[in-house]
Amino acid sequence: MIFSAFAKAMAQMGDPRFRRVLFLGIALTVALLFAAYAAVLMLISWLTGDVVVLPLVGEVRWLDDLLGWSSLIAMMVMSVFLMVPVASAITSLFLDDVAEAVEARYYPDLPPVPRLPWMDVLRDTAAFLGVLIGANLVALMLYGLLPFAALGIFGALNGFLLGREYFQMAAMRRLGRVGARELRKRHWARIWVAGTLMAMPLSVPILNLIIPILGAATFTHLVHALRSGRARIA
């Protein structure tokens, strides 16, 4: 089920309507990633001095090198950590557009639904980002204590959190907040696995740019499969 949902999301990349959202999502992902990188670099520079030394990159003077090639490499390295909150924000912004494109192609008999209220989306996104950032800050300590398990901790933690958000937002469109929560609780294990499979590629530079939109499409398919009772593990 999970892999077939992802395969359908990939297959729709040739759809003009879906491709438009994908390209918009990539452009905004790059912009948000650059803004997050600049903010982090500015904070580090303010705390430690003008020069920042990054692994694999060396010295980065944030004001002088922010737009330079060294900064581009540094941003790609730091995207391993920054893409999780960025992916969350992108999903919140584009889920309605992605879901509409997916349903127009694969579920054309479904009646249209109103878009989620913007203020509700903004409130939920802000609340979830707080949880996501807090959990990952705590996980940083675990990475230091258990470096051999860092990748597994990253995948399991962010898979659980992102899977929960992806599914909740996708399901709310058709089932409402309460119905989405009930469906999520019944299938939490599958959702966790699906979230982990979405979270792991976020640690791969370049590839992580397309994962937020593909993830939103994948979870749209997942919601419909679980609603209809046609769910299979794969």
Give residue-wise pLDDT tens across range 179-222. Answer: 999 999 999 999 999 999 988 888 887 788 888 899 999 999 99
DSSP state of 109: T
**Amino acid identity for residue 38 in this structure:** A
Helices then strands, counting H and E runs in the chain, come out as 8, 2
The predicted pLDDT at position 85 comes to 83
Q: How far apart are CA 186 and CA 191, in angstroms?
A: 10
Q: In angstroms, how far apart are the furthest CA atoms of the chain?
A: 60
End-to-end CA, the chain? 4
> According to the per-residue pLDDT averaged within each range, which of 60-64, 84-88, 101-105 is highest?
101-105
Whole-prediction pTM value? 0.80
The predicted pLDDT at position 225 comes to 92
Q: How far apart are CA 69 and CA 206, in angstroms?
A: 16
- Where are the chain's structural domains? 2-13+81-228
Q: How far apart are CA 98 and CA 147, in angstroms?
A: 37
